[in-house]
Homo-oligomer: A and B are copies of this chain.
Amino acid sequence: MDTRTAASCSLIGQHKSALDTPALLVDLDVMEANIARIVATCRAHGVAWRPHSKAHKTPEIAHMQIAAGATGVTCAKLGEAEVMAAAGIRDILIANQIVGPIKIGRLVDLADRADPIVCADSIENLTELDAAFTRANKRLRVAIEVDIGMNRAGVEPGAPVVAFAREIANRPGLRFAGVVGWEAHATTIGDAAKKEQTVRAAVSLLTASARACREAGYRVEVVSCGGTGTFPYCAHVDFSPALTVLTTVTSRPTPTRIVVDAGKKTMSGDAAMPAPSGLPPIAALKLSAEHAKIELEQPSDVPKIGDKIEFIVGYSDTTVHLHEDRFDLARGRARQDQIAIAPPGIVLSSRVRRP
């Protein structure tokens, strides 16, 4: 029983202003243009595009990206990969370590439906992956996570990467697939020149490690880096935001203060704050669990209680997973009823709402 069903059915063709709030919206016109631009730019530079599914958690969108030219998908964890594999996607990079008997058992099963690549950075992990895949008479593609300056997980670049490639290549249940790094430490740099320099330095540690592996005789299929916060610098491509959250004004306690019905449980302020559109200049924006509080620079009697405000999402990664479903819009109107967003590990028939 879904108590929202009565309110949410039959919204196909309706304008977004008719939707209940808070609602996660995707402007398909903008998203499709972004996909086309990224694919064209990557092609022009002779590199592959493997978009991260954590940004949308929706198999249909992954299929749209692959149809446009993406080589496969990236996932943050095993549960997301299971969702993509169940939707028929085979080439999946899990940009993380898969550790322990329960998850490795699931990974062995996943290898029947997909050809995943996992990242590793420790001998212990290689040993347990190899044992499980050898026992199952299967072979797992393993990429080396390289620490290119983020200082989280990862093998040190250069010679340690080559030594680790040898460890992978020597194990019968594993196949060396390449190198993976993430220049996350560059994403928060404001100054464009310094940011470009930091991205370049980080990525060159990765490409040098890949080159060293090739010189040592190992085939390097994947050299993976880049993300939304660094695309303009490492892939020379920019794009327009397609993801928004529609909200309703629920309180106007003062002429400068606006309170809406969406907070950090609906649109994350992590990494970047959401940006309300169509308002006079704003002095401050604060999120609590179920409220956003906007302070205008000057008093205004609009918007009024009940008016809708659309926020451009600051960071999709920490916003999409907060939602059960999403509205896809074309020319501002709902193209179909809500799309279920797949939580990791729960495989949905994605055109059908959850119970």
CB neighbors of B among A72-101 (8 A) = 76-77, 79, 82-83, 86, 96-100
**Nearest-neighbor residue (CB-CB) of A184 within chain B:** B288
Q: How many residues of A contact B (CB 8 A)?
A: 68
How many copies, total? 2
A321 CB, nearest partner CB in chain B, Å: 6
Instruction: Answer whether residue A102 sits at the interface, using C-beta atoms and an 8 A cutoff.
Output: yes
Q: Is the CB of A305 within 8 A of B252?
A: no
Cα-based distance from A125 to B288 in the complex (angstroms) = 21
Instruction: Answer whether residue A9 sits at the interface, using C-beta atoms and an 8 A cutoff.
Output: no
The answer to whether residues A252 and B3 also contact, given A20-B102, A324-B346 and a CB cut-off of 8 A, is no
Residues of B within 8 A of A250 (CB): 96-99, 125, 153
CB neighbors of B among A268-297 (8 A) = 270, 288-291, 293
The answer to whether residues A77 and B355 also contact, given A86-B1, A153-B250 and a CB cut-off of 8 A, is no
A40 CB, nearest partner CB in chain B, Å: 28
CB neighbors of B among A100-154 (8 A) = 100, 102-103, 105-106, 121-122, 124-125, 128, 145, 147, 151-154
A124 interface neighbour in B103, B264, B290, B305, Cβ under 8 Å: B305
A340 CB, nearest partner CB in chain B, Å: 10
Instruction: Answer whether residue A228 sits at the interface, using C-beta atoms and an 8 A cutoff.
Output: no
Residues of B within 8 A of A82 (CB): 3
Instruction: Answer whether residue A162 sits at the interface, using C-beta atoms and an 8 A cutoff.
Output: no
**Nearest-neighbor residue (CB-CB) of A121 within chain B:** B251
What would 18 more interface pairs be, CB under 8 Å, given A122-B251, A128-B306? A1-B86, A3-B86, A3-B106, A4-B79, A7-B106, A20-B102, A76-B289, A77-B261, A121-B251, A147-B253, A153-B259, A184-B288, A264-B270, A264-B318, A321-B322, A322-B322, A346-B354, A348-B355
Chain A residues at the B interface, C-beta cutoff of 8 Å: 1-4, 7, 20-21, 54, 76-77, 79, 82-83, 86, 96-100, 102-103, 105-106, 121-122, 124-125, 128, 145, 147, 151-155, 184, 248-253, 257, 259, 261, 264-265, 270, 288-291, 293, 304-306, 317-318, 321-322, 324, 343, 345-348, 354-355
